[in-house]
Structures are given as structure tokens and as C-alpha cells.
Structure 1
Amino acid sequence: MHNIIMKKLEPVYGKDTKNVRTGTRVFGNIDKVNWMNVVNPPLSKEEIQVFEDEMETVFPEPYKYLLSLMNGSFLANLVRIAGQPKVGGLSDEEEYFQPFELKSFQQLYDSKKIPESYFVFADSMDLGTIYAINEENRVLELHLRNKKVLRDLGTMEEWLNLLLEEAVRID
């Protein structure tokens, strides 16, 4: 799992990291159970296909790219990215670090105010925002309550870089 996310976080957090049996990596210990960054292992192309089949949809390419880097996460102690949690046989700690389930996530933010063409995949309670991929494969930041677009954050790579810069900055 040595990808752009790990390349950005590993040098900053050094030994302030932990590997969980499920392959999840956590960085930046806050207290007994909380960490600044929780990065779940990526999904393979086959696992992404199975995930799409289970969801009965085709994911936008940027979300597939994100899943190929990490299966959901919590970055910069700020943004929660939905994914596909593992089921069964997990310790309390492993369960705690599982990604928020995409299906539940999308139901949570289902709204007539959000165009059907938008694919909601992340949120930030602290910022009061949700993140969606539009039909042009751009990541948009939307206001949590009124669902209005606050800004276009660019491609998935650009958004991820912004988020990782924040994760590095607040260490």
C-alpha cells in the first residue's frame, strides 16, 4: 500500500503510526483511540467491481481511483471518506477504524437539492460540508444543510492533494 497517500503521511508522522491487523494504517495519535488519519487498505479492480455490483451502480472513475488508493478513510482529523467496510471477525479496534459504509452514507445525504448526477462520497462535520463528484468528474464541496455548491475543488487528485497538505500542515 505504498501509494501517494502513504508517501505523503509516512515522512511527517514517522513512528507516530500503527498498523491494524486488517491492513488499516493510522497516523498521528490524538488519544487512547483517536488518530489524525485513518487509511484503510485499497481495493483491487476485482473488489471494486464486486462493490459496484453490490451497490447496483457504476462508480465514477475518480471514486474508483480513490478506492484503488484507499477504501474509505478519515484524513486530517477532518474529512470522512466512505468505502466498503469488512464484515465479521473484527476486534473492537478494527471495527472502529472501518470505513463508513457508502450505501448508508449516500442515504444519509439523499436530497432533492443535490442533482442525481452527483456522486456523494465524503463529508466533514467540522466544516459543515459534503463532497460529491459531478458529471465532469470534478470534486465539489457542498454546504451540508442547503446543499449549495461552495466551490469546485478540481480533479480527485487535486482534491486529495489539498486534503493531504492539510493533514501534513496540522501535525
Structure 2
Amino acid sequence: MHNIIIKKLEPVYGKDTKTVRTGTRVFGNIDKVNWMNVVNPPLSKEEIQVFEDEMETVFLEPYKYLLSLMNGSFLANLVRIAGQPKVGGLSDEEEYFQPFDLYSFQQLYASKKIPDSYFVFADSMDLGTIYAISEENRVLELHLRNKKVLRDLGTMDEWLDLLLEEAIRI
């Protein structure tokens, strides 16, 4: 199956893309090192299981689905999605494009204001928001500071569609 994220970005960015040795695809060059979209290669079911074991948790199905499409990313020069970075043997460029570590990410946003049932997996500094999956498997947008739910963005597919529409628009 051709990755739906790559499938949507390729026609928009055309030749304004490159693939680094790790398989990470970048689209929409901004300057010498920055790109509008960074899509890391997906994880296999086995790799997701190993990741869960390392994190000592069972991921919610929407996050597993997201990892099966991409292992962390930066979309629309706006939203950072956490994943599992590779360790060792990377060039500076490859290291730069690595996903933000999920464990560090969740520690960063650990708060008594966020229900334990929420799984925090993404953020946007520009928007001042964090994104979490609820126990109903819905993607919620929360205010970065007070952690209040700003809106329900729907299923993982619906949220990805919103993000990709923004990536295409800009």
C-alpha cells in the first residue's frame, strides 16, 4: 500500500523533495536545512511491539495506526508528532530529521490537568496546542498552558486529513 501521507504530498511538492539515507522524506524546502514537511519511515507491527515494550505500555490503536504510516513527523511546518528515534550511526542531517522521542515528549507534557486516559503524542508551538488521543480514540486539541480541550478533531484519519489539507494549502 502506498503511504497516504506521501501520496498526498508528492503531487503538491513535485521535485521539491528529497529522501535521506534513513528513508525519511522531506517536502517543501524552506532554507538550507529546514523543510515544510518531514515524514519518517513507518514502523512495522514488530517494531511497534518493540517500541511498546520499551515504553512499557500498550499504545492506543490510533497511535499504532499513525506509526504504521510514519514514525513521527513534522507536518505543514506546524505540527510535531512524536515517535521512536533511531540511535547511533546517523549523519548530522539524519539526526536533525529524527522524530522527537515519545518518552521525552510525554514527560514534557505530563500534567495533573491532563486525564490519565489521554495519550499525548503531538504539539504545535505556533498554535500553542498539544494533541492527545482520548479513550474514545478521538484526537483532541488541548491548550498548551491550561490543558483544556479546545476541540475534538475527530478520528486519526480526520485529523491527518486536516493536517494534510494545511500542508497542501501552504
Question: Into which bin does the TM-score normalised by the smaller protein fall?
Answer: over 0.9
Pairwise CA distance, 1:108? 0.1
Runs (4 or more) in structure 1 with deviation over 3 Å come to none
Pairwise CA distance, 1:61? 0.1
Gaps of 5+ in 1: none
Structure 2: distance between partners of 1:35 and 1:158:
24
Deviation digits for residues 114-156 of structure 1 (CA, Å, limit 9, x no counterpart): 0000000000000000000000000000000000000000000
Counterpart residue number, 1:30:
30
Deviation digits for residues 68-127 of structure 1 (CA, Å, limit 9, x no counterpart): 000000000000000000000000000000000000000000000000000000000000
Counterpart residue number, 2:162:
162
Pairwise CA distance, 1:167? 0.2
Structure 2: distance between partners of 1:13 and 1:78:
17
SS at match of 2:67: helix
Structure 1: distance between partners of 2:89 and 2:4:
30
How many residue pairs end up in the alignment?
170
RMSD (Å) for aligned C-alpha atoms: 0.6
Structure 2: distance between partners of 1:55 and 1:105:
12
Q: TM-score, normalised by structure 1?
A: 0.99
Gaps of 5+ in 2: none
Identity %: 94
Pairwise CA distance, 1:2? 2.7
Q: TM-score, normalised by structure 2?
A: 0.99
Structure 2: distance between partners of 1:158 and 1:27:
21
